[in-house]
Amino acid sequence: MKVIGAGLPRTATTTQMFALEHLGFGPCYHMRDLLADLEGGLPLWEDVSEGEPDWERIFGKAVSTVDWPSARYYAELVEQYPEAKVLLSVRGGEEWARSMRETVWGMFHGDSVLHYISDARAVLDPLWQRYVKLMSHMNWEEGVGALAGDTSTTAGLIAAMERWNDSVQATVAAERLLVWNPSEGWEPVCEFLEVPVPAEPLPRLNDTVSFREGIIGGALDVVNEWWNVRERPTSGLHGAALS
C-alpha cells in the first residue's frame, strides 16, 4: 500500500481514485469494490468493525485506497503500512454539507425518497440490510461513528466534518500527509507523490446526481424484481375486475 485516503465521503473520492490510478498508483480500492461484491466484501469489513481486520485479503493487489470504508480506518492503516503516504481530501463546509445531505446522510436520515427506497431494499435484500447496518455503525453510531452526534443541521454536519479533519491532521505525521482540496487540481498531489503532472485537467466524477442514480436505481431494481414475482391476485382492490 503506497497511498491511504483519509478523506470523508463526498470529498471527490471517485476523482481521487481516478487520479491515483492515472498516476500509476492503481489498483485503487474504493467503495465501488465493496458495492460490486457485497457477498464477499461485507464479512471482511464486518470483521474490521469488530477489531479483526485482514487487510491483505481486503486490498489484494491494490496499492492505494480512498473513500469509505477504508478511510474510516485510516489510523489503523497508517500503522499497518508505515511507508504509505496519506491523502486527506477536503471541501468547503457548506458545499460538503449540502452534498452529504442529498446523498450519504440522506440514505439514513430525513424524509426523502432516497432514504425510504434504501430502507425498502433493505427489507428485501439481506446483503443491503447488512451494508446499511455496517455503514450506520461506521458513520453515525454514538461513540463509534466517524460523524456521530447531531447532524440534523448544516452546522452540525460541518462540525462533524471539522472534527474528522482535525483528528486526521493530529494523528498523521505532517511529512506523510497532504491536505488537498480537489479543486486545486493535479499539482499538489503530483508534487506530494513525486510524479509528473498530466497534461489534461483533473476531471470531476461521481457528482450528487450520479450518486442518487446509483442508490435509487439499484433499490428500484430489487423492489421491481420482488414485485414481478409476487403472487398475483385474480381480482383488484375491493374485488374490482383486473384489466
Average pLDDT estimate for 140-151: 94
Q: pLDDT tens digits for 43-70?
A: 999 999 999 999 999 999 999 999 999 9
Q: Give the CATH fold of the 3-226 domain.
A: Rossmann fold (3.40.50)
pLDDT of residue 240 exceeding 80, the answer is: no
User: Rounded to the nearest 5°, which phi and psi values hold at 231?
Assistant: -75, 120
Per residue in 167-204, pLDDT (tens digit) is 999 999 999 999 999 999 999 999 999 999 999 989 88
Ramachandran area for residue 186 (φ above 0: left; ψ -120 to 50: alpha; else beta): alpha
Lowest mean pLDDT among 9-13, 55-59, 122-126, 235-239: 235-239
- Consecutive H or E run containing 136: helix 126-139
- The single-letter code of the amino acid at 123 is V
Q: Residue 231 — very low, low, confident or very high, per pLDDT cuts 50/70/90?
A: confident
pLDDT of the residue at 41: 97
Q: Are 243 and 145 in contact (CB under 8 A)?
A: no
Q: How far is CA 159 from CA 76, 97, 150, 165, 234, in A?
A: 23, 10, 9, 10, 56
Give me the pLDDT at residue 21, please. 97
Tell me the pLDDT of the chain averaged across its residues.
Answer: 94
Cell for 205?
A: 466524477
> Which three cell numbers mark 221?
431494481
Select the more confidently predicted residue: 236 or 34: 34
pLDDT, mean of residues 116-122:
97
Give me the mean pLDDT over the 135-151 stretch.
95
Instruction: Read off the amino acid at residue 19.
Output: A
